[in-house]
Amino acid sequence: MSTEKSSKSKDKKMNLPKHLQHINLYAAGIDVGSRSHFVAVPEGASEQPVREFESFTDDLYRMADWLLACGITTVVMESTGIYWIPVFEILEGKGLDVKLVNARHVKNVPGRKSDVLDCQWLQQLHTYGLLTGAFRPTEQVCALRTYVRQRMNLVRYAASHIQHMQKALAQMNLQLANVVSDITGVTGMQIIKSILNGERDPLILAGLRDRRCKNNEETIARSLHGNFRPEHLFSLKQAVDLYVFYQGQIAECDREILSQLATFDATTGSDNGSVPGGQVTTLEGALQRISGVDLTRIDGIDTNSALKIIAEIGIDMSRWKSAKHFSSWLGLCPGTKVSGGKVLSGKSKPVANRAAATLRMSAFTLFNSKSALGAFLRRQRSRLGAPKAITATAHKLARLVYTMLKHGTAYVDAGQEYYEERYRTRVVQNLRRKANELGFVLVEDAGLQPKNATS
């Protein structure tokens, strides 16, 4: 009798639920490091199921050969800095299914932390199918993303040298930044280069003013009386040289971006931005050619913003099930922290997503826009405050981008008046419903005109 009970209990233990069954039988886990990587394979696949490989390229190829010899078909690893990139690329080139997972999803058991335990824990979780790979676009999009991110770095470096130029001018008490909107514009650069060439007369320097400059020559001349000390002129010269150098690097990067965009297949038959032979000539036309839509029609999104978004997410929206999943991946939708039927927090999850940052910056530019999105942003700001309003508007922008890229539809702005009228209609309907519930009748005064809220 006891043996029957023990056999039944064993049978119950063996009948695991579906989510705890071995889904990936030939899975490996890698703990990525800067000097070496620890790799774990299933027990029995090798005499030594956990091995350490150094981070040199020949060691990575030996790692790939060993995994293939063990019969491994899928590999999982954490996104540790940038050290995972060569491992990912080499293993993927060998035909292995490599998944990159979020470190938050694979936290080890507290009190048991080592490189060996980490790779074994990754291998065990992946065997049961409990890990999902992070989003990684195609190699074509990855190359474009590298160029775009490099351009962003160059723009940031150039901006720091603009600050150095302003500092050198301020030390010489040259108030050029107070009379021109941009010292790197036509007027500003002509005056600065003339100063570096030895010109000191304020009237002659002010004569270099571009006709589109708002301030007249007299005002500009007053700002150019300064103390031209040699050490400050030397700092100014180096800052200008570095700024000009980075502008040349940015132009070279733009050419590489256009060349990379030319390798994409056209989504539609339009030839915007191309010449006979398919060579891309303009960035706007190239983006429309590969996406089939014009994302710059959305208020707040310009050409550079559209380029950054496409470089981060690609043009294949089938990677996300719906616009809601896409917004959740961007970290722009409200959180769902609920316990005991009570909403504890609706804060959006923190993510380091460049596409989300670009959408937030695009939403920030809509505060003075007369579009429907601008009216929505101002309405949300009065209700939630500026930070939450920007996130809510970025969420709306993300859904528009998803819909346009997914279905190839064009965006048409309904205008601020349309949004305000819809908002007024919705408020009146709510008031009528509440009045009816309380036994009152809501009567509209025909002599009063509806007031459009623009704040």
- CB-based burial of residue 187 (10 Å sphere; 0-12 exposed, 13-18 middle, 19+ buried)? buried
Backbone φ and ψ of 337, nearest 5°: -100, 95
Two tokens, residue 263: 């390798």
Two tokens, residue 315: 């043009």
Distance, C-alpha 259 to centroid of its chain: 22
Would you state the pLDDT for residue 337?
77
Would you state the pLDDT for residue 17?
57
Two tokens, residue 426: 């919705």
Would you state the pLDDT for residue 9?
47
pLDDT in tens, 258-317: 999 999 988 764 444 444 445 557 899 999 999 999 999 999 999 999 999 999 999 999
Domains, the chain, ordered by start: 21-127 (3.30.420.140), 142-261 (1.10.287), 297-337+349-419 (no CATH)
Q: How far, in Å, are 71, 198, 203, 273 from residue 225 at the CA level?
A: 77, 14, 10, 47
Would you state the pLDDT for residue 188?
93
Residues in the chain: 455
- CB-based burial of residue 321 (10 Å sphere; 0-12 exposed, 13-18 middle, 19+ buried)? exposed
Would you state the pLDDT for residue 454?
42
Backbone φ and ψ of 382, nearest 5°: -70, -20
Specify whether the CB–CB gap between 377 and 393 falls below 8 A: yes
- End-to-end, the C-alpha distance of the chain in Å comes to 81
CA atoms within 13 A on the CB side of 18: 0
Secondary structure of the chain as H, E, C letters = CHHHHHHHHHHHHHCCCHHHCCCCCCEEEEECCCCEEEEECCCCCCCCCEEEEECCHHHHHHHHHHHHHCCCCEEEEECCCCCHHHHHHHHHHCCCEEEEECHHHHCCCCCCCCHHHHHHHHHHHHHCCCCCCCCCCCHHHHHHHHHHHHHHHHHHHHHHHHHHHHHHHHHCCCCHHHCCCCCCCHHHHHHHHHHHCCCCCHHHHHCCCCCCCCCCHHHHHHCCCCCCCHHHHHHHHHHHHHHHHHHHHHHHHHHHHHHHHHCCCCCCCCCCCEECCCEECCHHHHHHHHHCCCHHHCCCCCHHHHHHHHHHHCCCHHHCCCHHHHHHHHCCCCCCEEECCEEEECCCCCCCCHHHHHHHHHHHCCCCCCCHHHHHHHHHHHHHCHHHHHHHHHHHHHHHHHHHHHHCCCCCCCCHHHHHHHHHHHHHHHHHHHHHHCCCCCCCCCCCCCCCCCC
Report the alpha-carbon distance of residue 322 to residue 312 in Å, rounded. Answer: 18
Would you state the pLDDT for residue 450?
57
Number of CB atoms found within 10 A of residue 258's CB: 18
In our burial notation (b when 16+ CB lie closer than 10 A, e otherwise), range 78-94 reads bbbeebbeebbebbeeb
Report the alpha-carbon distance of residue 45 to residue 128 in Å, rounded. Answer: 17
pLDDT in tens, 308-321: 999 999 999 999 99
- CB-based burial of residue 12 (10 Å sphere; 0-12 exposed, 13-18 middle, 19+ buried)? exposed
Q: Could you tell me the maximum CA-CA distance found in the chain, to the nearest angstrom?
A: 110
Would you state the pLDDT for residue 321?
92
Give me the residues of the chain with pLDDT under 50, please. 1-3, 5-14, 269-277, 453-455
Two tokens, residue 107: 């936290």
Helix 139-171 and helix 303-313: axis angle, to 10°?
Answer: 140
